[in-house]
Amino acid sequence: MRLFPLLCACCALLVLACTKSTQSIQLPEYAPEAITRLAPAYKGKYITYRLDSIVPILQGRVLATRRYLAKDVWDTLIVDNQGKPAWRIFRFLNDSLGSGPWSASTTYTLSVYNNRLEQLENNLRTIRLQLPLRDGAAWNGNQYLPFAAYGAYNNLLFTEPLKWTYKWQGPLRETWSGRQYDSVWTVEQLNQVFDTLSVANPQYRLYGIGYIADKYAVGVGLVARQLLLLENNPNQQDATTFNPYKTGFGIRMWMVDHN
């Protein structure tokens, strides 16, 4: 299996849903309302996503896609572990057709503080959004993370998460699940490719692809997430005879419903 075509297929999902427009909603660069309009919160809010998890199986020889529906439900305002008001959000999972029961998956919090949106999940705090809201503006969204915060990720080729630069891109007019949204902003966290010349002959060379980006629609919140962190390793015994093996993981997530 070729990794580069997989990346193209993953990205095509996001590209096909977007159209560039100059008629987007204009939000003030430095006003706190820009954050709250990109991540509105109220009791009972929910967003349902299609969630595809990409994982290596068969000792890394094959990339498998496991498909789910994920439903995020805004529960109530609480005080987080730093004393900040935060919304507690429950995530539930179902099969991709929604034919089974919903089962509890995880709990996380979102808080708007000091002109930014912070997320706390699994006791790891990240800055998901930050002012100024301007194309190209950047910040260190992982500055609160400990070293090697993401376990298996740290065995890959990519930059240590502590050094990731989050960057605004947009806005664009985009369509998701048949609905058009006038102002969608992308936050890119990672965009790295190593040894691209070896993609045509993956059995011989080590290479990796890392891409992470979130999309937020004004008045809705997170509408899509793309995460791909994969490394291709040549077989150490006989690269000519045996297939390479892959390490890493990926996520494709896009909104299918909200209230």
Tens-digit pLDDT string for the chain (259 aa) = 444 444 444 444 444 445 444 445 667 788 889 999 999 999 999 999 999 999 888 877 788 999 999 999 999 999 988 898 999 999 999 999 999 999 999 999 999 988 999 999 999 999 999 999 999 999 999 999 887 777 655 666 677 788 889 999 999 999 988 889 989 999 999 998 877 555 556 556 677 888 999 999 999 999 999 999 888 887 766 656 667 788 889 999 999 999 9
Could you tell me how far CA 159 lies from the centroid of its own chain? Answer: 16
Which range marks the domain in which residue 62 is found? Answer: 3-258
Judge whether 195 and 215 are in contact, CB under 8 Å: no
Q: How many other C-beta atoms lie within 10 A of the C-beta of residue 259?
A: 10
Considering its fold, how many domains does the chain have in total? 1
The verdict on whether omega for the bond into residue 234 sits within 30 degrees of 0, i.e. cis, is no
Q: Are 46 and 259 in contact (CB under 8 A)?
A: yes
**For the whole model, what pTM was predicted?**
0.85
Rounded Cα gap, residues 111 and 88, in angstroms: 9
List the structure tokens of 41. 């919160």
